[in-house]
Chain A
Amino acid sequence: MRALQTERLVKQVKHTYENVVPYRKKMQEKGVEPGDITSIDDLSKLPFVNKDDLRDEYPHGFRAVPLEDCVRIQSTSGTTGRRVVAFYTQADVDLWDECCARAIVAAGGTKEDVVHVSYGYGLFTGGPGLNGGSHKVGSLTLPMSSGNTERQIQFMTDLESTILCCTPSYAAFLAEAIHEAGLIDRIKLKAGIFGAEAWSEEMRRNIEKNLRIKAYDIYGLTETSGPGVSFECEEQTGMHVNEDHFFAEIIDPDTGEALPEGSKGEIVFTSLTKQAFPLLRYRTRDICVLSRKECSCGRTLVKMAKPMGRTDDMLIIRGVNVFPSQIETVLLNQGYPANYLIILDRVNFTDTFEVQVEMTEEMFSDEVKFIEKKESELLAALRSMLGISPAVKLVAPRTIARSEGKAVRVVDKRKI
């Protein structure tokens, strides 16, 4: 594996240096040339890429092949300027499909299976990723997308879906709806592949019991391709990284120093094979541990633990990445004080998301409809910035702690 990784890395560094101007600049600043990288062990000589680099170069800066060679884009949530657009050549789509296919096979999938994909389709990578993987396996693929629970259950029973792919919270929600409809005995599911948000072992056991399946975790991010960067096998003790395509390192998030196997730190990925959007040493901000302990499934691919937290303040709400700073930007733009409180909870397996905002003289009127108009303008601005809708609660002035020192901006009551 290391020989293959070395061969691919050397080629990839050269490709990136020649075609991605911002990364070439980073290498030059660090005094590194493609010739300095002769082995996978030289990886730590290379500079990091972080999300801000990608945003600053929106949309084309990190694209490494001519547009005519690209066949697809996917994109992260967030508004213009905060978004990242990832490009794919046909080969990139193929390798992504291959990675997702491995996840489906690890969950017991074969061409005889019926794969029910209830991740969102569109710019979000969940739907397209598992859809492509399922095609590669040769399974019958149901491109359900998210929502419309009644139809989900109807197709699940009528077409006898055997593998469900969606977010864990949606799986829990579907399980409840199936029991309420009294249809559990007509469900043929045997496995589920659930990702894009944090979930606990307890939640896994609940889903497994309620849907009578085995539930597998999957990990990925749009910047590196989408789901399928790593996936779980039947041992359910961490996710095997597809390290022939994505090389994983653990670093100290403060010093950037690479840490030895078994250390807890930030997980960093280098895409070894992607052509259109080749990221070298991409900092995920996810806190994680890698392990090369032998796995009972026989796979020798390195395993990553379920991420244990973030090095930044990013929140994942209903599968969407939300930064508190985005909310602050909207409030300031709309003329509200930058003093706010985010309250998260999980009710009926769905995240609830409330933003408390202080009322001001300027926003106030004796007429309720005027205040409601202001409130709905704020809501629309938040929705367009975040990609999901919070509930806005107007509170009296100076009731939310000021921002001196470490203000508490997020109250997360979700038990996951």
Chain B
Amino acid sequence: MILEQISVFVENRAGAVADITQTLAEADIDIKALTLADTGDFGVLRLIVDAPKKALAVLKLAGSVASLTPVVVTSMGNEPGSVAKIARALADAGVSLEYIYAFVAREAGSAYAVIRVENAEAGDAVLLKAGYGEDFKL
């Protein structure tokens, strides 16, 4: 399924990530998954939250630079090779992967992948065809 991921600019200073997550916590936004891409110079924090539009609004209000990006979220097996299988399915269909990260849902205990491709709908279709489920619930 396609969800809106929120991405936030993180400057290279102590406490930058803490400030962002604090802002979200104060707005009662629940973080489902989070990953930080870091260059040593700056970072991009990527999050799956329960209310992305609200998250975007509160972060902008707090002075952050943030944006929403459609990503494909799918459940996957909890065993070794699961991510590789997804990446292979996309590659075989000619969909190139920008980045991918995995998380385990607290309630269900099962593993999920967040996949960023250029065209989220095309990527979602490929994965549905390959038998990946629509079963993630925010």
Q: Mark A residues whose CB is within 8 Å of B.
A: 359-361, 364-368, 371-372, 375, 393-399
Binding site for A on B (CB under 8 A): 5, 7, 9, 11-12, 16, 37, 39, 41-42, 44, 46, 63-67, 69, 98-99, 116
Q: In whole angstroms, how far apart are the Cα atoms of A399 and B5 in the complex?
A: 25
B98/A367 in contact, CB under 8 A: yes
6 additional contacts (CB under 8 A) given A364-B65, A367-B99:
A364-B66, A364-B67, A366-B44, A371-B42, A395-B11, A396-B63
User: Contact between A396 and B67 (Cβ–Cβ < 8 Å)?
Assistant: no
* Interface residue SS majority, chain B: strand
In the complex, which residue of chain B has the Cβ closest to the Cβ of A375? B41
- Would you call B67 and A366 a contact (CB within 8 A)? yes
Q: Chain A residues near B12 (CB, 8 Å)?
A: 393
In this complex, which of A359, A371, A375, A396 has the most chain B Cβ atoms within 10 angstroms of its Cβ? A396
User: Chain B residues near A361 (CB, 8 Å)?
Assistant: 65, 67
If A396-B63, A397-B63, A398-B63 touch, whether A359 touches B9 (CB-CB below 8 Å) is: yes
| Contact, CB under 8 Å: A366 / B69 | yes
| Number of A-B contacts defined by CB within 8 Å | 53
Interchain CA distance A182-B110 in the complex, whole Å: 63
Once bound together, how far apart are the Cα atoms of A394 and B9, in whole Å? Answer: 9
- Contact of B44 (CB < 8 Å), options: A371, A375, A393, A399: A371
- Among residues of B, the one whose C-beta sits closest to the C-beta of A391 is B41
A361 to B41 Cα, complex, angstroms: 18
Residues on B with beta carbons closer than 8 Å to the beta carbon of A366: 5, 7, 44, 46, 67, 69, 116
Known A359-B9, A396-B9, A396-B11; contact A365-B67, beta-carbon cutoff 8 A? yes
User: Cα distance A396–B63 when bound, in Å?
Assistant: 8
State A374–B37 Cα separation when bound (angstroms). 17
5 examples of A-B residue contacts, CB within 8 angstroms: A361-B65, A368-B37, A394-B9, A394-B11, A398-B63
- CA A375 to CA B7, docked complex, whole Å: 18
Bound Cα distance from A395 to B5, whole angstroms:
22
Q: Cβ of B5: which chain A residues have Cβ within 8 Å of it?
A: 366
CA–CA, A398 to B67, complex, Å? 17
With a cutoff of 8 Å between Cβ atoms, the chain A residues found around residue B42 in the complex are 359, 371, 393-394
Contact B11–A368 (Cβ < 8 Å):
no
Shortest A365–chain B CB gap in Å is 7
- Interface contact A368-B65, CB-CB below 8 Å: no
In the docked arrangement, what's the CA distance between A397 and B116, Å?
Answer: 26
The 7 A-B pairs at the shortest CB distance, nearest first, are namely A366-B7, A366-B69, A364-B65, A396-B11, A359-B65, A368-B37, A394-B42
Cα–Cα distance between A150 and B46 once the two chains are bound (Å) = 46
Q: How far is the CA of A161 from the CA of B41 in the complex (A)?
A: 43
Assuming the contacts A359-B9, A360-B65, A361-B67, asked whether A394 and B41 have C-beta atoms less than 8 A apart, the reply is yes
Closest B residue to A392 by beta carbon equals B41
